[in-house]
Amino acid sequence: MPLSWPDTFETRVFSTGGARIHARYSQRLSGQPQELPALLLLHGFPESHLMWRDVAQRLAANFFLVIPDLRGYGDSSKEAGLPDHSNYSKRSLAEDMTALMDALGVGNFYLCGHDRGARVAHRLALDHAQRVTKLCVLDIVPTLDVFEGNWLRVPYMDLARDFCHWFHMQQPSPIAENMMGALDPDTAGAYLRARLNGGAHVGLDYLAPQVIAEYERCFCNADGIHAACEDYRAAATIDLEHDRHSRATGQKIACDTLVLWGARGLVPRLFDPLAPWVAQCGARVEGHSIDAGHFIPEERPKTLAAALKTFFR
């Protein structure tokens, strides 16, 4: 079943102070070792925690899994953006995640993020280094390197074309929202399906119709589109301030880091995928490609789950 989860998962809405976070997490069953390590899985744009459904099936016996909808996505709250976009900064979203783990009684944890979730994970690993035991980032290079054109393998014009939504979605509200379909569900659905194509023309065969319908339910409305735009506006403004300050002060990721990317996606065509992370990590960095486009957790769940089991030992 495309939307099925193991019976041992629960769902709950958590208040983090700045948002209401909807999350799915493993039950702690009688007879199960209580020392199972915690693993926090963060989704990307324009999806929700649902993207981890097939990976979770394969990891449930090995980890205490926590799989939330990020602020602004899925069934988490979608507040209006502040003038400086700070409530959608990766710092604020990372604080949501530490509050979530606190509420679940988790101290240290493994962390894996895809796309926007990987950007939250990057900031979380910097701001809360004592909490993150190991980090995995999927199919991104650091935000600051994208905007500054570092490690590029192609002219910046190629980046602007292939990452066009980065520049479009940061335009002032409601210009970007209306163009994306905030006032027209059909336009919003077409936009969503185009983004789920990953920018690499991989098609949508990797997603069942029920899964696409669930993403449409959460994204294709005025609040969902506005929140996603605020995520990207924050990336182009306040997130860059935070990232530049971290680099100026020599702050680096302190834990071992695994970098994975889709061999058929945009990241390896546009960038050196591994070198930016080596430069921003003070511990061991390893990485390799996976035969996939951008949406690795849904295109290759078995391969990804095996890689995570090996790394998060």
Q: How confident is the model at residue 201 (pLDDT cuts 50, 70, 90)?
A: low
Is 76 among the domain residues? yes
**pLDDT tens digits for 209-251?**
999 999 999 999 999 999 999 999 999 999 999 999 999 999 9
Q: Would residue 124 count as lying in a domain?
A: yes
pLDDT in tens, 29-87: 545 556 899 999 999 999 999 999 999 999 999 999 999 999 999 999 999 999 999 99
pLDDT for the residue 192: 96
The answer to whether position 222 is within a domain reads yes
Residue 78 placed within a domain: yes
Assess whether pLDDT exceeds 80 at residue 14: yes
Domain that holds residue 230: 9-311
Does a structural domain hold residue 2? Answer: no
**CB neighbourhood size of 288 (10 A):** 12
* CATH number where 36 lies: 3.40.50.1820
What percent of the chain shows pLDDT beyond 70? 96
Tally of domains in the chain: 1
User: Which range (23-37, 40-54, 96-110, 119-133) has the least confidence?
Assistant: 23-37
Distance, in Å, from the CA atom of 203 to the CA atom of 162, rounded to the nearest integer, reads 16
Q: How far is CA 186 from CA 153, 169, 183, 204, in A?
A: 36, 18, 9, 17
Q: Give the span between the Cα atoms of 134 and 147, in whole angstroms.
A: 26
User: Is 0.75 topped by the overall pTM?
Assistant: yes
Residue 3 lies in a domain: no
pLDDT above 90 as % of the chain: 91
Name 308's Cβ contacts closer than 8 Å, sequence gap at least 6. 39, 55, 59, 112, 136
For 270-306, the pLDDT digits (tens) are 999 999 999 999 999 999 999 999 999 999 999 999 9
Q: Report the catalytic residues.
A: 115, 294
